[in-house]
Chains A and B, each alone.
Chain A
């Protein structure tokens, strides 16, 4: 299963998992399998059309690999550069909206003030509404 081979920020989270895995696979595989490519393409809607693209991906992974040269044992990971900033709280007032016309102009295809979704846009999760 591809999850065991992942070691870059391709997090394996099956819903209920708390936190992101910080201990990566020490082996570190440089090979990116066809299975992984398929999975990535589905998740990110990116097209890895050619072998060249796959090679480039592998180079990118190798480049980022150098991060692991730093020993981070026992160091609390930084999740956000904003961690010391204050989270601004907005008052609960209605101050925007009412611009349907403007927004609908962005869409190629509309029907009576509704956006029309292209048929391909239902990847992954089934209808929840």
Chain B
């Protein structure tokens, strides 16, 4: 395990033992992972209860946490990994099941080419070494949703190994800076998904739907290079974006296309790693960080109390907000791995080793797949920063919402306004409205053209920025109207007549001599009063900055 000896938790956060009975309450492990600076000041000694801890501890202890992840991503393919039945999320129970999926005798696995390509592409995107030869194995265990009694996986020699996942976390007091981190990718393997069990507690029976049985999965194993829930969540998010960009998985956690198990342990910096627990069923992006942080804190509390951490499997209970031990297994699980006897080794080629005269359908060329790799999110972001001079955080925000980048690029195409203005409007105003009404970009009532037109008006100084906001609001509410129409209707055009503005300013100054005196006395707020008066006189059709300019000139300030 490539873990440095001295490791601190995620930036700005120190794990501190904070009193007994410290079951992580919601106040502590805030889902957004924000730094709780209140923690640092907490004393740990005062409330030692009468439980006889073996080694009573005094003062604060530093803890470091180590988090590794196992991610299962459902491959986006038409048919399953070893059979020709369909892959679909919602279908009548057991309607997408072939004889092989139901593990009827006499059936054999036939490998789906698309799944292999998906695995190779993902491996390439994560900088892995692609094994030219990989093997399939059987992993045996008994469960009702696994009709064969074993899962076909790649335990001995997976398809890709030794890669890395680069991701970013927000740091700094206002979480505005982005810091790059790397998590090692131990391996990527192809394996079968199991069916679904539905527990009918009323009649205490279990109903089995095999639609999902045999669907291709990519298991991505991340090294324990992460140190808290926030880092883990950020890594997962980046992996999601990569898989989606590649098209190898839709990686939607809500639909079960991306499932995460975490391996968590804690230790004192400088000392060996602690016993780890496995936390399963982390299937919600929202609760992922929270669950991991809870477990870290639970382990710290346990150890500080003189207890021990058991090498066990736990599950995250969303309702209670805590991890609970899963039904204990009698002794360690023995999967009795054996080579899958029905499948020869999987051989992959590159341009050099490609055998001649073979059916192209039957060979996979890694170099060809590498050339066809779509642009990765990291590269897209870098390009945005370079091309439009935006901050890295902005590039992250643009890629974080489905369809937002496309929207942004369409606006850029059609408007003359500066990219920085466009970025600001898209990320602040546009996104703000979307979030307020919980809409997706595709559901936006404002089209890129409309926003482009609006920004053009602003750029030409035909309207003021406050007027522009009003127009935007109106655009949002009423479909079909163009910005120009709204401006005309509401009479929001800026006064173009400089002479008339000068006149208005002069007359305002004359009408309010007291305020003028205040300004000349040096009262900084008095000029705002004058600006307000002029604005009212112009019926809001003059830009406050221009008014200020004129007034200051006229007052010879």
Partners in one complex: yes
Chain A residues packing against B (C-beta within 8 Å):
9-15, 18-20, 39, 42-43, 45, 79-80, 82-100, 103-104, 106, 111-119, 121-129
Set of chain B residues within 8 Å of A98, measured between Cβ atoms = 95-96
With both beta carbons as reference points, the residue of chain A lying nearest to B78 in the complex is identified as A92
Determine whether the beta carbon of A126 is less than 8 Å from that of B85: no
List the A side residues contacting B142 at CB < 8 Å.
45, 121-124
A101 nearest CB across to chain B (Å)? 9
Over the window 127-149 of chain B, the binary record of Cβ atoms lying under 8 Å from chain A Cβ atoms (1 yes, 0 no) is 00000000100001111110000
CA distance A127 to B99 in the complex (A): 24
In whole angstroms, what is the CA distance A84 to B110 when docked? Answer: 17
Whole-angstrom CA separation of A18 from B156 in the bound complex? 5
Residues of A near B345 (CB, < 8 A) are 80, 83, 87
Which residues of chain B have C-beta atoms less than 8 A from A124's C-beta? 141-143, 329, 333
Residues of chain B with a CB closer than 8 A to A91's CB: 113-114, 361
Inter-chain contact B86/A90, CB cutoff 8 Å: no
11 contacts across the A-B interface (CB closer than 8 A): A13-B336, A15-B335, A80-B339, A88-B110, A97-B86, A112-B93, A114-B208, A117-B207, A124-B141, A125-B329, A128-B281
Q: In the bound complex, do residue A94 and residue B84 qualify as a contact, i.e. CB atoms below 8 Å apart?
A: yes
What residues on B are CB-neighbors of A90 within 8 Å? 79, 84, 110-113
* B330 in the interface (beta carbon within 8 A): yes
Question: In the complex, which residue of chain B has the Cβ closest to the Cβ of A107?
Answer: B208
Main secondary structure of the interface of A (DSSP, over half): loop
Name the residue on A nearest B334 (C-beta).
A43
Interface size for B (C-beta < 8 A) is 73
Contact residues of B between 91 and 140, Cβ < 8 Å to A? 92-99, 102, 104, 110-116, 135, 140
CB <8 Å contact, B145 and A129: yes
CB distance A88 to B194 under 8 Å? no
- Cα–Cα, bound, A106→B94 (Å): 13
Docked-complex contact B333 and A125, CB < 8 angstroms: yes
In the complex, what's the smallest C-beta–C-beta distance from A71 to chain B, in angstroms?
A: 23
Known A-B contacts A80-B345, A114-B198, A129-B145; A92 and B79 likewise in contact (beta carbons under 8 Å): yes
Counting chain A CB atoms within 10 Å of each CB, the highest count among B79, B334, B346 belongs to B334
Closest residue on chain B to residue A79 by CB atoms: B339
Contact B84 A95 (CB under 8 A): yes
Contact A114 B207 (CB under 8 A): yes
A95-B84, A124-B329, A129-B197 as given contacts; A103 in contact with B102, CB under 8 Å: yes
Interface string of B41-53 (1 = CB under 8 A from A): 0000000000000
Contact in complex: B112, A114 (CB < 8 Å): no
Residue B205 at the chain A interface, CB threshold 8 Å: yes
B84 to chain A, nearest CB (A): 4
Contact of A97 among B93, B98, B337 (CB under 8 A): B98
Indicate which residue in A95, A97, A129 contacts B194 across the interface (CB closer than 8 Å): A129
Interface assignment of B341: CB less than 8 Å from any CB of chain A: yes
CB distance from B223 to the nearest CB of A (A): 12
Q: How far does the alpha carbon of A10 sit from the alpha carbon of B196 in the complex, in Å?
A: 30
B406–chain A nearest beta-carbon distance, Å: 27
Question: Is there contact, CB below 8 Å, between A96 and B98?
Answer: yes
A115 touches B143 (CB 8 A): no
Q: A86-B344, A94-B78, A114-B207 are in contact. Are A11 and B338 (CB under 8 A)?
A: yes
Closest to B281 in A: A128
